[in-house]
Amino acid sequence: MTRHQDETGAAYDGVVARYAAAFANGLEHQPFSRNMIGTFAELVRQTGSLRTADLGCGPGHLTDMLTGLGLDAFGLDLSPGMLAHARRAHPERRFAQARMESLPLGDGTLGGALAHYSMIHTPPSELPGLLAEQARVLAADGLLLASFFATEEREPVRFDHKVAPAYSWPVERLAELAADAGLFVVAKLIHDPQSERGFLDAHILARRA
């Protein structure tokens, strides 16, 4: 597990400027993602537990967005380069280095967790562990919003992402893994691809039991 994550982190270190420029305008041209995150933030606010982690925060644009939506948000990422950019771009926000398989957070301490395309590089055999870790840090009724590339195949499909090898997932299969981790799926959104790779984009919103 350590090797592929270290390789992915190093790969993102090498594309910080290009990646950050691509998302400089947040989700201005991604209405489905923008509205799913807005719904997620509204439901987290309703729990009364505003502490929210942006897992795999990259350049920090969504950490900033979550804060603007009324959450007590902070960003975690594996890549030192991405974190350095996030701190420069959003000096008023909080960012820290962390691994998604061992989050530096106590049990049940979050009202929300956002994983915006940040699990796509995880090999299928390791994804259940990441979901279980996210469930661990969520309080009762806390919410996870996971966004990913979807496939209509029956099994995950490995593909050559521009930064590091990645996987698209059958939506129902990923929803089953979330349920196995103790997360009750309350909403699923699948929409047309927004990239030249042609995969569907998908979002699963789940609540901690």
Say how far apart CA 27 and CA 34 lie, in whole Å.
6
Question: How many domains is the chain partitioned into structurally?
Answer: 1
Give the domain CATH number at 153: 3.40.50.150
pLDDT given for residue 50 in this prediction = 98
Please indicate, yes or no, whether the overall pTM of this predicted structure exceeds 0.85: yes
Asked if residue 170 lies in contact with residue 150, where contact means CB atoms within 8 angstroms, the answer is yes
User: Is residue 30 very low, low, confident or very high in pLDDT (cuts 50, 70, 90)?
Assistant: confident
Residues ≥6 apart with Cβ < 8 Å to 114: 37, 40, 52, 53, 54, 55, 62, 66, 144, 145
Helix 31-47 with 61-68: angle, nearest 10 deg: 50
Whether the predicted pLDDT of 1 surpasses 60: no
Q: What pLDDT score does 67 carry?
A: 98
- pLDDT over threshold 70, residue 204: yes
What pLDDT does 19 receive? Answer: 73
Rounded mean pLDDT, 130-157 = 96
Instruction: State which residues form the domain around 158.
Output: 2-208
pLDDT band of residue 164 (cuts 50, 70, 90) is low
